[in-house]
Structure 1
Amino acid sequence: MALSPMTIALIQAAVIGTISNIIAQVIAAQRDNKPLSLNLLSLFQYVLFGLVNTPPNLLWQEFLESTFPSYHPSPTPAAIASASKGSESELNAEAKEGKLVEPKLNKLNTAIKTVLDQTIGAFVNTVLFSMFMNGIQMGMAHHSVEAQNGLGFLLGGGKGGGDVVRYGNVNWGVVWGRTKRESWGIVKAGWKFWPLVSLVNFAFLTSVEARNLVGGLAGIGWGIYINLFAGN
């Protein structure tokens, strides 16, 4: 049974998020000249965000493609030549071979999608990331350092005790303040990287699924930066 595009995207998000966070923790340990002690709490939080954020992002990409298609059917050079000669037999032959039209890049639509993706999409994604990470880190701050190196925190155990996330401990005013302070910096940093990825995706890949995969692979490097930015 074939997996749905959404299921594939979620699996990709989990794998990519895991790789990004682990590499970031390795880099941070080397940078700070400390022995590596994998923080599973940080890993859990980052991967969870990827899973939560993937469905709306996939829907956003599908909306952009359906509203501003990257390609439109255009007559092939052979079809234009046959039509100019008025040769119905050649046109019929080309029609049978599927050579009457070919996909042609719509440059205006591609530019529009890139701009929308790097403005509205970038700001919404960044705000959601900052709100989620600051909120969940505050809500899970009661877990002890020992619990961060094991999976006991998922059961609400460990020295920290309590449930997995203490929503009552989240001060959303503080979370929003942190989000406002850091979001613009993240967006500006992203503009040095993501516009090229978006342009390549929209111009050379024809399916949302393929674009999601390429974007995810590019996101490994970006995820490492974000993890380091978040102080992991």
Structure 2
Amino acid sequence: MSSPMIRITIQACVLAAASNLMAQLLAEYKSGKPYTIEWVPIIQFIVFTIINCPPNFLWQSYLESSFPSTYLVPSTTALKAAASSDEKELDREEKTHEILEAKLSIRNTIVKLLMDQTIGAAVNTLLFSLVFAGFRGTTLEQATQIAKQDFRGLMTAAWKLWPMVSAVNFTLIKSVETRNLVGSLAGMGWNIYLSLCAGES
């Protein structure tokens, strides 16, 4: 069995390739050009995903371990049993692990959302600009200048999608692995946008 990071990276690579292909077809449809597949940008998006996905997995794992989504509180039935001194029911719930239930931590969820949409988003945006500038054969100085120019526009566009995705992930999805899959699925539309941006640059 492969590690979660490897599984997530493979899934993300497949979705990145599919989204770039769709972006190409969309651009050709809008321009009226005949449909042809350019493999170089598809490979570039796969390479970028291989570079970008593992650090994102580690980042999400860090956020969850540092700011857990839930905390344990006595369950409603356990409180009722305790109030009525029902020792038999309390013993049953303790044996079946029903005596405690998970409750969403609003504070931790807000902290994770803010960190993800500031630090995480900024690093992802800069990495995208630097890597794709590098694909075009620019020097480090030129790549840095391109990243600075692209930063505000990409961040503004990202904040129209990713805060909502992060909010769903942090409140409804329990495992980091599944959150990354949800992010990759939502990222198909985002990657189409990035593909079109990269193609126009």
Q: What range is the shorter-chain TM-score in? A: over 0.9
TM-score computed with the length of structure 1 as normaliser: 0.84
Following superposition, the deviation at residue 56 of structure 1 comes to: 0.4
After TM superposition, what 4+ stretches of structure 1 lie above 3 angstroms from structure 2?
Answer: none
Alignment of 1:58-137 (within 5 A): 58-137=57-136
Q: Aligned AA for 1:219?
A: G
**What does residue 189 of structure 2 align with?**
221
Distance 2:154 2:135 in 1: 19
Tell me the equivalent position of 1:200. 168
Name the CA distance, whole Å, in 1 between partners of 2:162 and 2:102.
25
Q: Tell me by how many angstroms 1:107 deviates.
A: 0.9
- The residue number in structure 2 matching 1:15 is 14
Q: 2 CA distance for matches of 1:227 and 1:103?
A: 40
Shift, 1:219, TM fit: 0.4
How many residue pairs were aligned? 200
Q: Distance in 1 between matches of 2:80 and 2:70?
A: 22
- Report matched runs for 1:44-55 at 5 Å: 44-55=43-54
CA drift at 1:230 = 1.3
Provide the residue aligned with 1:231 in structure 2. 199
Query: What is the CA–CA distance in structure 1 between the aligned matches of 2:93 and 2:13, rounded to whole Å?
Result: 46
Structure 1 Cα separation of the partners of residues 15 and 79 of structure 2: 46
Residue in 2 aligned with 1:165? none
Cα shift at 1:34: 1.0
Larger helix fraction of residues: 2
What is the CA-CA distance between 1:97 and the residue it aligns to?
Answer: 2.0
2:143 corresponds, among 154, 172, 175, to 175
TM-score in terms of structure 2 length: 0.96
- Contact 2:130-2:143 within 8 A present in 1 as well: yes
Report % sequence identity.
Answer: 43
